[in-house]
Structure 1
């Protein structure tokens, strides 16, 4: 059995290892065994997104959990941050989300939260992997006389809706604001329209008709072309796009321009400092953040540290530094004074709160941060050897870094959720950056593609 957990849970092609019903039963057993001895109730909440294979994985997980004499609460289709919230608020032992986030419909995944609603540490993931690989240990803990039961969470989206409302200031209103919203045919398709229209916004909807196979299909936070076009066509104040499981947000200003996670972090961090609500004057991002974010935080006197890629690592660094805001350029933004994980809907609400406070269009707020030219190329790979031990790639990186000197940077890393290597270059001009990134991507493809 190969390593199960990647950057963000377990992920793979549905009906292929490890995303098979047989493995889901084993993983359900391992998660139940890991968390059943806690002081919380022996109940595990399971939620899912809209992809066609979710029921298969969901029911297999529930079967595994029940076999360990632990009860299951099914939340149905719900955003990942909703499951994090429900796990904590309902005092469950753990929460599981069946989702492959922004991946195509034919992929699926399993994300696990502890009883406090936090993603697992490396140590906890390793413990679950060890249990999953030790069938004798799992079998020893099966009771013949007692099994868990499966029930449904009562009004899970209503509970999450109330939580979101309570994160906003008293009297908060979006009256007069026109929003174009792309729900990616994913887990936010019901809840997101309700929350924004409930605050009085004029909401125009895109991709809210999931059929099991159209999740993330040229839509959502990874594909904003149609969103940008619709914002311009309707003369909307902004556009917002969620990914398949609702923990990411990409925004579009009234001119149709993308506002990435880094830019949102810059806007939110700087305004929070201005309002004296930025504890420790500190914001956390990742090593993939644009150099422009580093520059603007330095200019504004905001302390800034970078974690490794993955919102759970952002969270760990936030806790270490006493920060309440952190995130990734991909759009995972964490508001630790409200939520325990990235939450796309909450991020959109907070962005609009600050937009109203500043009485400026989003295009003007976006000018807070100058984005350095950046090119990211994803190279499909057949294996994932240590890049630092491949002389040809090391030499190519050194060559590019010598050209860039202090005017840019290179970052090459494997995806933790897909069989790809991410090659990123930032540089002084778009043309030069593009040329250098393609040079490195070709080297990666030649030696490990």
Structure 2
């Protein structure tokens, strides 16, 4: 059993002893801590918390625990039921709520669930807020409401409102999509994407939708992380239908993978690159991604005469940087598109609508569109160390070793070589350094990552 407490939320496996998994006792404790934090930091009179969940099997149990705890803390609850992460984020803002809780373990397998915590803007909490909530939970300093002050529950469905908000975006061209007469295949991994993505595609004017795994019952038919090795079923569907494009989402629909018309992977890293290319062709401005995302976004940004900025890994770090530099588009290389004209959160619905508009305007196949972007390949490795190694000191030594190159140290150490890069990040849970690398071929990416790994091992002696 696992229970991971971090500043971004509480994640764990269902079952086991208290403190060893995300069980009822721990769920109540952390929701009580979140409610205590919200109550003491509210700046307006809102007394509502929005609750939404993905379709995983433990969702209904978690929903009842969370809603009951919030009522016990004196908060009114707007329960939007089965809803995507971005839908819940939008609902918080539309309701003028004090905060929100999303019940989803995102791309983790079916035995996992999590509490994703939002502020009154419908955005993930800051690191400082997350730390404060963990402290409150540890002290268990909660004050529950008296019987006459218990909260109430209202049930609402925000799916259609989210779709309508996407349709109203200025750069979503429904008429162009209709005229393109697209056939689209989708894999929604039997979660909430199966509810919203077919409705979105119909609203966008897609001629035909081939649905794969769209029953929202939480029985994931494959590993729910949308990586190439997990997506052979939709790749085969693309080859046996006349689909123009395929879309794959994770269980909470904040990550978007694209499949080419021939069944090839477009590449998760390139979801953001393609959408940014379209946005920048109409709206000049800055872009942001995290340090471990592809250099292709920087290249495309510069092609449009705009500036690219890097952020530390983590959605809240990306959105913070986007606000700081006034970015018009940003996100993460895991297929996460963040479009401020909609909201500051990864949103696959927005990504799909903008990508289809781009595809319709370009009048190319998806594989032709992909071939027009800078070609990069990524390697992911790790260096295992002994527990007594001072990892921070080791990373400083690596910085010194490569000081003749461009170094970024806002999150580990990233070394930018002229035609490739290596990013080193220490694990918070085990004595390892994660090594991400990127170059123009897979072989080069693994090679440069291996070279830096050898340097780390030598310095660690």
TM class by smaller structure: 0.7 to 0.9
Measured at CA, do residues 150 and 105 of structure 1 come closer, stay the same or move farther in structure 2, by a change above 3 Å?
A: farther
Q: Is the 8 A contact 2:125 2:316 kept in 1?
A: yes
CA distance in 2, matches of 1:148, 1:56: 20
TM-score of the two chains, using structure 2 as the length reference? 0.83
Could you tell me how far apart the structure 1 residues matched to 2:274 and 2:205 are?
Answer: 23
One of 89, 92, 97 as aligned partner of 2:94: 89
Cα distance, 1:20–1:239 mapped onto 2, change above 3 Å: same
8 Å Cα contact 1:106-1:213 kept in structure 2 = no
Give the SS at the match of 1:189.
helix
Whether the 8 Å contact between 2:174 and 2:205 is mirrored in structure 1 is no
Checking the alignment, whether the CA contact within 8 Å between 2:176 and 2:360 is kept in structure 1 is no
Alignment of 1:5-404 (within 5 A): 5-6=6-7, 8-15=8-15, 17=20, 19-36=22-39, 37-135=42-140, 137-138=141-142, 141-167=143-169, 168-169=172-173, 171=175, 173-174=177-178, 176-201=181-206, 202-214=208-220, 217=223, 220=226, 223-275=230-282, 277-278=283-284, 281-377=285-381, 387-389=391-393
Distance 1:372 1:17 in 2: 41
SS of the aligned residue for 1:258 comes to coil
Q: 1:352 to 1:404 in 2, by over 3 A?
A: closer
- Single out whichever of 342-351 and 230-239 deviates more from structure 2: 230-239
Shift of 1:419: 10
Deviates more, 1:315-324 or 1:209-218: 209-218
Moved more, 255-264 or 334-343: 255-264
Distance (whole Å) between structure 2 residues aligned to residue 196 and residue 359 of structure 1: 18
Measure the CA separation in 1 of the matches of 2:20 and 2:173. 46
Q: After the TM superposition, which of the residue ranges 381-390 and 187-196 deviates more from structure 2?
A: 381-390
Q: Select which of 411, 419, 444 maps to 2:423.
A: 411
Contact in 1 for aligned 2:273/2:296 (Cα 8 Å): no
Compared CA separation, residues 437 and 56, structure 1 to 2 (3 A): farther
Higher normalized contact order (CA 8 Å, seq sep 6+, divided by chain length): 1
> 1:174, 1:17 → 2: CA distance?
51
| Shift in Å, 1:234 | 1.0
SS in 2 for 1:239: strand
Cα distance, 1:208 vs structure 2: 1.2
The alignment's TM-score, normalised by the length of structure 1, stands at 0.86
Counterpart of 2:342 in 1: which secondary structure? Answer: coil
Per the alignment, residue 436 of structure 2 pairs with 424
Deviations 1:78-113 (A, max 9, x none): 100000011110111111001110111112111111
SS at match of 1:174: helix
- 1:328 positional shift: 0.8
1:178 offset after TM fit, Å?
0.7
Q: How many residues align?
A: 439
Give CA deviations for 1:246-286 in whole Å, capped at 9, x if unaligned: 011011122323223442333333333322x23xx211111
Q: Give yes or no for contact 2:256–2:271 (8 Å, CA) kept in 1.
A: no
* 3-state SS of paired residue (2:185): strand
- Check whether the contact 1:44–1:95 (CA below 8 A) recurs between aligned residues: yes
How large is the RMSD of aligned CA atoms in angstroms?
A: 3.6
